[in-house]
Structure 1
């Protein structure tokens, strides 16, 4: 019997960005992701905590996605997805990331069993650090 997913399947999170260099630098220098490969100034593959991040510049339809256009978020206050990082110490991670240039919406907030806070990448993608207490 065939099954999916099978061994060897890996997940890649794709994020459309407006400035590839600025976004690559954010994910590398602020979050500590490792650049794996770059493609012609239009995409960058990073490894981050066992996951692949693919940063791509926007673009129009192609043969295999004839009605799809890739574009960075138009309004950072309207979110359709976010990247959440579970951390052992949210307050400590907050201080480290702030020191690296991350701009948080608020300081860590204790939500009865979870401490969390949110920040954005250069294009407005919402990111969260979260600690279960």
Structure 2
């Protein structure tokens, strides 16, 4: 039986630069940084969520065929890949902190039916929702 999600992939063209982005600009912690044959395994995660990691993976590693690696590199370069939603308890405060650290925002914090959301890009162009969820939100109901 599946117990939850442990690791998800973030595509990067430069693992060292992306590791720095996530640890220094977003304040995540480095979990793993080791060589695995011809590739490198780098993971980061939120300090308060030890059971979940983001694997910072190059498209040309870990068994990705050359044609797929080229396609992934092109998509990352275009900035069309979404990296998911990162939860926060202070979207506006984190927006100001991250912006001061040089994070590129596509959308400043806005009220949404589910809470407050800002959208930013990482150093590769992948985009993320930074979301402060509304505590009164009833996820069993459809949004209008």
In the alignment, structure 1 segments of 5+ residues that lack a partner are: none
Mapped to 2, the partners of 1:92 and 1:119 lie a distance apart of: 14
TM-score normalised to the size of structure 2?
A: 0.71
Please state which structure has a larger fraction of its residues in helix.
2
CA-atom RMSD in angstroms: 2.6
Aligned residue for 1:90? Answer: 91
Match in the other structure for 2:139: none
> What is the number of equivalent residue pairs in this alignment?
124
Query: Is the Cα–Cα contact under 8 Å of residues 44 and 53 in structure 2 kept in the other structure?
Result: yes
Counterpart in the other structure of 1:110? 111
Q: CA deviation at 1:44?
A: 0.9
1:31 lines up with 2:26 in the alignment: yes
Distance 2:65 2:106 in 1: 37
Which runs of no fewer than 5 residues in structure 2 stay unpaired? 135-144
Q: CA 1:35–1:68 in 2, change beyond 3 Å: closer, same or farther?
A: farther
Task: Classify the secondary structure of the residue corresponding to 1:101.
Answer: coil
* Aligned mates of 2:58, 2:43 — CA distance in 1: 12
